[in-house]
Amino acid sequence: MKHIHQYVRVKLTNSTVYRCMKIGCSHYIRPQFLINKIAECPFCGNDYVVTRELAKRKVLRCNECIVHKDKKVDSVGFLEDIKENSK
């Protein structure tokens, strides 16, 4: 069964490679061959093209999930929004 891979960086004995995180998949790839490949984001499930910048992360994810994760949520504003919506 073919699928689009979800990659995580792992350290082997003498080198670093990326392996697929999906259950039952034994796919490994060297970092230099990963650039411009299509991968699946493990967080949102969308497909994306791996760039050099994205390949620097331990767990590869799409740009949208990187931006979303890196944003800080204002907890006070968040709590006020919840209180207003519950009325």
Q: pTM for the full model? A: 0.70
Q: What is the pLDDT of residue 3?
A: 86
Q: What is the pLDDT of residue 70?
A: 53
Q: What is the pLDDT of residue 74?
A: 44
Average pLDDT over residues 30-45: 91
SS3 call for 34: helix
The C-alpha atoms of residue 72 and residue 87 are separated, in whole angstroms, by 26
pLDDT digits (tens, 9 = 90+) for 40-87: 999 888 999 999 988 888 999 888 888 766 554 444 445 555 455 555
Both tokens of 40, joined, read 């699946």
The domain ranges of the chain are: 7-86
Q: What is the pLDDT of residue 12?
A: 86
